[in-house]
Amino acid sequence: MKENTWFDPFFIFENLSEEDKLIQKNVKQFCDTELRPNVVKYNHDHIFDKELYKEFGNLGILGSTIKNYGGAGASNTAYGLINYEIEKVDSSYRSSISVQSSLVIHPIYEFGSEEQKNNYLPDLISGKTIGCFGLTESEAGSDPSSMKTTYKTTKDGFILNGSKNWITNSPIADVFIIWALNEKHENNSVKGFILHKGMKGLSTQSIENKTSLKISPTGQIIIDKVFVNNSSCLQNTQGWSSVFSCLNKARYGISWGVLGSATECWLIAKEYVENRIMFKKPLAANQLIQKNLADMQTEINLGLSSCLLTANAMNNNKNIINAISILKRNNCKKSIDIVRDCRDMLGANGLIEEYHIMRHLVNLETVKTYEGAENIHSLILGKNQTGIASF
Ligand code: TGC
Ligand code: FAD
């Protein structure tokens, strides 16, 4: 009889390249030995161990698609698989990788000078330094173009003024990518700057009362007349499309990542209903429960299939803007639905920390919101279909 292919019906994992398979295997192993054992405690106590970045660096999963400066030169598929495996443990850990790789290493690599690349990339890729990406402000979330942070051009550089809010890693960061407009707030004047910890006027404040993504440190950045010289500006940015190129990368990783959360919870729920006896038979023997499992298997595998198609398109330098919004919006939505159903299938036990599901569920509320909330991706897709911007 042929092998039962219920877990990988489209042979996504079976058909990966040998290199991608090896990367996935190594990351999975790292997750099992280094991340899973403490995840419940660290989430409960809001603990993030900064030293973890060095372990990520050793594993080659920071800036993994970059070929030099210490990068592993992995494929976009491998980057997706890394996100998928890490988010099976917790969205916070995936966020750590996404921010460092897509939002800090990527802009320096794409838009920085050779000097900036040599100065920053080796340490960011090895995990010796930690980065953050400051775009959002208290009054500029979905619409970052309404930001109030500005730069003033001076004889030797720039003076930056303003604040950022809800910034992953800001309380522990060494390197800060900060986006700002000119003093007239002209939309097309947006520029990126590299700041670093200890600069006069730069400080951070932790957001302590977060109920979601509790392992990941999040905070504000206060930029009080910070002077930076010309060499701190990302010279090769081209307006908003450069900002969005960072978001494209992060959104792509998230699209794989959330399916990791969904897969983890699906397998926990599957095992639970196979063993839980109610009405004198396993819960899994009921048609309604099997329908849930079939729905989960279907949505996860359809999601993964489109992630893989998008990875191939990226490997071939295609325009993936629409694919990314479809994936970010749909995979988050489907993953939340799946995880909520998993919670339900465990009944009261689904509420217990040790079963992991509630943690994934509340984490996905963040993931649905950041990197373009669900409505925003609907509006991007609507705009691209009709040519009419509704925002
Ligand atoms: P719009 O007029 O649409 O575009 C302005 C310029 O940008 C170009 N563009 C893109 N380029 C590359 N990739 C994309 N996806 C692009 N989308 C647009 C566009 O062609 C244009 O270029 P040009 O040369 O003609 O000037 O811009 P808009 O201001 O109207 O944008 C509206 C909107 C709502 C789509 C945008 O503001 C948006 O995406 N808002 C959501 C904000 C967001 O996602 N923030 C994320 C913050 S970072 C974060 O959350 C990190 S979480 C941590 C983690 O990842 O773990
Ligand atoms: P708002 O923009 O106020 O939106 C609120 C709701 O209104 C959303 O549901 C949205 O979809 C909806 N909405 C908005 N406009 C419209 C419209 N025109 N039509 C219909 N509906 C609309 N940002 C960074 O720059 N860097 C980071 O590292 C970072 N990390 C984060 C970490 C965490 C844990 C969180 C929660 C957020 C993080 N963010 C980060 C910020 C994140 O990108 C923003 O929260 C997100 O862009 C949404 O902005 P907002 O929270 O201000 O919501």
Q: Note the pLDDT of residue 322.
A: 98
Q: Note the pLDDT of residue 10.
A: 98
What average pLDDT does the segment 367-385 reach?
98
Expressed in angstroms and rounded, the spacing between residue 41 Cα and the centre of ligand 2 is 28
Quote the mean pLDDT of the chain. 97
Amino acid (1-letter code) at residue 172: I
Sign of the dihedral defined by the CA atoms of residues 243, 247, 248, 250, in that order: positive
366 lines ligand 2 (CB under 6 A): yes
Name the residue of 376, 390, 391 whose CB sits within 8 Å of the most ligand 2 atoms, as the mutation to test its pocket: 376
Expressed in angstroms and rounded, the spacing between residue 3 Cα and the centre of ligand 1 is 45
State pLDDT tens for residues 45-94.
Answer: 999 999 999 999 999 999 999 999 999 999 999 999 999 999 999 999 99
CA distance 179 to 119: 20
382 lines ligand 1 (CB under 6 A): no
Q: Which ligand is nearest to the CA of 138?
A: 2
Residue 19 has pLDDT above 80, yes or no: yes
375 lines ligand 2 (CB under 6 A): yes
Q: Note the pLDDT of residue 204.
A: 98
Q: Note the pLDDT of residue 28.
A: 98
Confidence band for 216, pLDDT divided at 50, 70 and 90:
very high
375 lines ligand 1 (CB under 6 A): no
Q: Note the pLDDT of residue 2.
A: 81
206 lines ligand 2 (CB under 6 A): no
List the catalytic residue out of 34, 271, 371, 374.
Answer: 371
Q: Note the pLDDT of residue 267.
A: 98
User: Does 371 qualify as catalytic in the annotation?
Assistant: yes
| C-beta separation of 250 from 95 below 8 A | no
Residue nearest (by alpha carbon) to ligand 1 atom 45: 371
370 lines ligand 2 (CB under 6 A): yes
Backbone φ, ψ for residue 198 (5° rounding): 95, -10
Expressed in angstroms and rounded, the spacing between residue 371 Cα and the centre of ligand 2 is 7
Expressed in angstroms and rounded, the spacing between residue 376 Cα and the centre of ligand 2 is 9
381 lines ligand 1 (CB under 6 A): no
State pLDDT tens for residues 133-192.
Answer: 999 999 999 999 999 999 999 999 999 999 999 999 999 999 999 999 999 999 999 999
Residue nearest (by alpha carbon) to ligand 1 atom 40: 142
| C-beta separation of 171 from 217 below 8 A | yes
Q: Cα separations (Å) of 57 from 19, 89, 124, 173, 358?
A: 18, 18, 8, 16, 29
Q: Cα separations (Å) of 366 from 100, 257, 258, 297, 386?
A: 18, 13, 11, 23, 29
Of the candidates 196, 194, 226, the one whose C-alpha atom is nearest the C-alpha of residue 116 is 194
Expressed in angstroms and rounded, the spacing between residue 4 Cα and the centre of ligand 1 is 43
* % pLDDT > 70, the chain: 100
Residue nearest (by alpha carbon) to ligand 1 atom 31: 143
